[in-house]
Amino acid sequence: SESGSSCYRVVLIGEHGVGKSSLANIFAGVHDSIDSDCELLGEDTYERTLMVDGESATVILLDMWDNKREGEWIREHCMQVGDAYLIVYSITDRASFEKASELRIQLRRARQKEDIPIILVGNKSDLVRCREVSVAEGRACAVVFDCKFIETSAAVQHNVKELFEGIVRQVRLRRDSK
Ligand code: GDP
Ligand code: MG
């Protein structure tokens, strides 16, 4: 493995309202007073060192996809700068699930020859009565995308820790196979 500490830039993308900022806030430890050594690098960039499988990893999380003030270039920027991506949809919003497929295609186009780690994230899993996308559909979509899949709830903090650990593992898998 490489010397020194590993630092990965992880980018949140997905339709407005699916819960990207809520997931980022949990990552930032806003609701976690015990372990809140997160550094705020900008209003939508967070840095935190995680211990995953006994090895530390620094994750820089970018939540600027919906930043309309900065214009469209920010999305092109996002597509270029990530070492890994979290493509988020809401399980209560089929349109956001369809959007996720579009984003996967865009990402593939933007980074053609790279094998970029991606996790497809079905958020809002706590809203069981409003579900529009089944777990099976999410899983099948991830197979087509050739990426990992997880359902999370930012509201009840279910699987959020697992999500960020998971993306670190995905980056490492590729690093270690080189
Ligand atoms: P973003 O536009 O993708 O950044 O989405 P936000 O994080 O701003 O969330 C949009 C809305 O969905 C807010 O009202 C959140 O409180 C709500 N929300 C986000 N995640 C969840 C979740 O897991 N469950 C529920 N019930 N609501 C959520
Ligand atoms: Mg947001």
Mean pLDDT computed over 58-65: 95
Residues in contact with ligand 1 by the CB-under-6-Å rule are 16-22, 66, 123-124, 126-127, 153-155
Residue 67, token pair as written in the block:
């930043």
Whole-number Å distance, alpha carbon 30 to ligand 1 midpoint, is 15
Which residues, in sequence order, are CB contacts of 116 under 8 Å at separation 6+? Answer: 82, 83, 84, 85, 107
The count of other CB atoms within 10 Å of the CB of residue 146 is: 10
Whole-number Å distance, alpha carbon 4 to ligand 2 midpoint, is 33
User: ipTM for the complex?
Assistant: 0.99
Q: What is the pLDDT of residues 8-36, one digit of tens each?
A: 999 999 999 999 999 999 999 854 444 44
Q: What pLDDT is attached to residue 67?
A: 83
Q: What pLDDT is attached to residue 42?
A: 65
Q: What pLDDT is attached to residue 39?
A: 56
Q: Which atom of ligand 1 is nearest to the CA of 88?
A: 3
Of 43-52, 93-102, 126-135, minimum mean pLDDT range: 43-52
Q: What pLDDT is attached to residue 3?
A: 45
Q: What is the pLDDT of residues 71-85, one digit of tens each?
A: 788 999 999 999 999
Which residues, in sequence order, are CB contacts of 50 under 8 Å at separation 6+? Answer: 56, 57, 58, 59, 164, 165, 168
Indicate whether this model's pTM tops 0.80: yes
Confidence of residue 176 (pLDDT cuts 50, 70, 90): confident
